[in-house]
């Protein structure tokens, strides 16, 4: 087995997607290996199908690029075997003699893509491998999110911020109905968790909940998955296949990343919503369906509609009930709670006895900007749990340069002071800019009583915060109020 491994040396570097190449032509292997390595992938390669099957047992392999015409075992047989394994792996088939039947068979067996040699333009190859690797990671993340939900039978979400309480309330209000719901928010905020929570609380909870990612597959494959087909609809359609919309009848269909749905598919979905019926590919008959649709996207649909990438009529059909999930940076009081929750999970998983985060570590977590939201936080906590040596996670266990995002005076200091951690007061002050306290005093003309009222704190606690940060003196000044509470800013 010829093999090329390119590992990332720095501990904080992003993991490279791992690709396994299986082709009996040495020249093809060398070309693809060099191409994908330059594109940033870690590549292994082999000319032997049996060795390839053995190598694919590694759960870290993201994508296998497999030649159809292999000696001993065909690429189709190898694809069929790989798709039966517990660990997900995306498979891209390559061939020098493409045909429609073989392409359809590849899709039926679960191939991510089907490419034809020789590769005149290498960019489609790189793009296909990258999308396949992303899809594998998406599957893994969804599995982890599902585990998180199932481990909390009485609580779908962790959070006590006012924004998340509003989300919880809205979920409770809309769950009983069958109205369409549109969930918007950045990637990693938990849109699928919201959809599942709505389904579990509804009168459809005993029926299927089916989720599909509209951005994870090609237009043709997406339509086949959604609407199904009848026997003989196209070459290779040996049996009829029920689409996911029909399969979800009585239950809930969750369309993730609907903002990336192709325009032609949008038209067909709109008809389903209008008529409550679906027409399988190749059929002249429609099938009545009773399905609640919940859609989610991180795309700005208003902009997409302005650019004619998303249909307005479909948007209004979807946007009957709108739930917008806040980014993690918009609810900093939830960060320590989520971090502690994930810490308990990974201590159990790793069989480690880690009891807490240091104050400095919590400060770094709270002050980070979290572009990847809750999903990114979980990954950081997992990494720290693996690296931690004692009973406390320290800043050194976090990624290099972590926690430098910072925030300003807009942070809700009052809610931070109500965190259920002994170190919350210190965290609240040190994690955010002192301009917040300076601004309160400045707006109150130096009057502590007024400034404390604006912060939602009693005067003695507010004075204590000021002293801890050397922001005020205690000398009386002319013009004090009745309590003599005017302090000068330091």
Q: Is 213 helix (H, G, I), strand (E, B) or coil?
A: strand
What's CA 63's distance to the chain center, in Å?
20
Are 317 and 389 members of one domain? Answer: no
Collect all residues with Cβ–Cβ distance below 8 Å to 459 and sequence separation of at least 6.
448, 449, 452, 483, 485
List the domain range (segments joined by +) for residue 83: 18-135
- For 349-405, write each residue's pLDDT tens digit: 999 988 888 878 888 898 888 999 999 999 999 999 999 988 889 899 998 877 544
Q: Which of 3-7, 53-57, 82-86, 108-112 has the lowest mean pLDDT?
A: 3-7
Whether residue 420 is found in the same domain as residue 459: no
Integer Cα distance of 393 and 323 in angstroms: 35
Handedness of CA 339, 345, 346, 352 (dihedral sign): positive
The band of 473, judged by pLDDT with boundaries at 50, 70 and 90, is very low
Residues 238-287 have pLDDT tens digits of: 788 888 999 999 999 999 999 999 999 999 999 999 999 998 877 888 88
Within-domain flag for 8: no
Q: What is the pLDDT of residue 434?
A: 57
The string of DSSP letters for 367-379 reads HS--TTHHHHHHH
Domain count, the chain: 4
Beta strand segments in 37-95, E: 42-46, 63-67, 90-95
Give yes or no: residues 398 and 482 share one domain: no
Q: Check pLDDT > 80 for residue 139.
A: no
* Residue 417 shares a structural domain with residue 482: no
Question: Domain boundary residue among 97, 119, 135?
Answer: 135
pLDDT above 50: residue 168: yes
372: domain CATH number is 1.10.8.60
Q: Are strands 252-256 and 181-184 parallel, antiparallel or unpaired?
A: unpaired
Has residue 174 been placed in a domain? yes
Is 418 in the same domain as 455?
no
Is position 145 within any domain? Answer: no
Residues 283 and 295 in one domain: yes
Domain end point (choices 400, 425, 450): 425
Within a domain: residue 229? yes
- pLDDT at residue 448 is higher than 90: no
The verdict on residue 341 lying in a domain is yes
**More confident of the two residues 258 and 116:** 258
Report the C-alpha dihedral over residues 240, 244, 245, 246, rounded to 10 degrees: 40
Q: Is residue 157 included in any domain, yes or no?
A: no
Rounded Cα–Cα distance for residues 42 and 269 (Å): 39
CATH number of the domain bearing residue 320 = 3.40.50.300
pLDDT at 320: 95
Residue 346 lies in a domain: yes
SS3 percent helix, strand, coil of the chain, rounded to 5, is 45, 15, 40
Residues 234 and 169 occupy one common structural domain: yes
- Give the domain-ending residue among 307, 326, 345: 326
Looking at the structure, do residues 170 and 319 belong to the same domain, yes or no?
A: yes
4 belongs to a structural domain = no
Query: Looking at the whole model, is its pTM more than 0.75?
Result: no
Q: Which residues contact 447 (CB under 8 A, 6 or more apart)?
A: 441, 481, 485, 486
The per-residue pLDDT for range 51-69, each reduced to its tens digit, is 888 898 888 899 999 988 8
| pLDDT band of 141, cuts 50, 70, 90 | low
Does residue 245 share a domain with residue 263?
A: yes
Interatomic CA distance for residues 164 and 375, integer angstroms: 16
For residues 184 and 299, membership in a common domain is answered with yes
Query: How much is the average pLDDT of 153-174?
Result: 79
- Residues 361 and 391 reside in one and the same domain: yes
**Strand, coil or helix: 317:** helix
Identify whether residues 247 and 347 lie together within a single domain. Answer: no
According to DSSP, the residues that pair with 90 across neighbouring strands are 63
Phi then psi dihedrals of residue 199, to 5 deg = -65, -45
């Amino acid at each position: 087995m010829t093999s090329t491994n390119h590992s990332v040396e720095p501990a904080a570097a992003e993991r490279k997607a791992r690709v396994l190449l299986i082709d009996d032509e040495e020249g093809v292997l060398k070309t693809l290996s060099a191409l994908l390595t330059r594109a940033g992938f870690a590549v292994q390669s082999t000319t032997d199908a049996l060795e390839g099957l053995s190598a694919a047992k590694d759960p870290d392999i993201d994508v296998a690029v497999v030649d159809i015409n292999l000696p001993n075992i065909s690429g189709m047989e190898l694809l069929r075997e790989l798709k039966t394994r517990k660990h997900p792996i995306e498979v891209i088939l390559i061939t020098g003699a493409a045909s429609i039947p073989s392409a359809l068979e590849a899709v039926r067996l679960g191939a991510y893509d089907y490419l034809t040699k020789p590769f005149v333009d290498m960019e489609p190859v790189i793009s296909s491998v990258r999308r396949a690797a992303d899809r594998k990671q998406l599957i893994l993340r969804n599995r982890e999110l599902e585990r998180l939900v199932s481990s909390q039978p009485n609580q779908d979400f962790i959070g006590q911020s006012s924004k998340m309480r509003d989300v919880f309330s809205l979920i409770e209000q809309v769950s009983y109905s069958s109205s369409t719901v549109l969930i918007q928010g950045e990637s990693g905020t938990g849109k699928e968790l919201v959809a599942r929570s709505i389904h579990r609380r509804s009168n459809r909870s005993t029926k299927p909940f089916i989720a599909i990612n509209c951005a994870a597959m090609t237009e043709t494959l997406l339509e086949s998955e959604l609407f199904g087909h009848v026997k003989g609809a196209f070459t290779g359609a040996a049996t009829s296949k029920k689409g996911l919309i029909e399969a979800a009848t009585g239950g809930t269909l969750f369309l993730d990343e609907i903002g990336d749905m192709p325009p032609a598919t949008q038209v067909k979905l709109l008809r389903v919503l209008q008529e409550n019926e679906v027409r399988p590919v190749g059929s002249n008959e429609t099938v009545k369906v009773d399905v609640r649709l919940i859609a989610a996207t991180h795309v700005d649909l208003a902009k997409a509609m302005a650019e004619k990438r998303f249909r307005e009529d479909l948007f209004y059909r979807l946007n009957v009930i709108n739930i917008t999930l806040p980014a993690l940076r918009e609810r900093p009081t939830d960060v320590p709670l989520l971090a502690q929750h994930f810490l308990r999970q990974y201590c159990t998983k790793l069989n480690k006895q880690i009891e807490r985060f240091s104050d400095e570590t919590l400060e770094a977590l709270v002050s980070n900007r979290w572009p990847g939201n809750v999903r990114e936080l979980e990954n950081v906590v997992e990494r720290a749990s693996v690296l931690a040596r004692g009973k406390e996670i320290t800043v050194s266990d976090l990624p290099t340069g972590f926690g430098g995002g910072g925030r300003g005076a807009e942070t809700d200091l009052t809610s931070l002071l109500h965190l259920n951690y002994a170190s919350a007061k210190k965290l609240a002050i040190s994690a955010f800019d002192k301009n917040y306290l300076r601004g309160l005093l400045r707006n109150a003309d130096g009057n502590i009583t007024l400034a404390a009222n604006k912060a939602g704190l009693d005067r003695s606690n507010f004075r204590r915060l000021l002293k801890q940060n050397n922001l005020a003196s205690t000398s009386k000044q002319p013009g004090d109020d009745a309590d003599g509470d005017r302090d000068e800013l330091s």
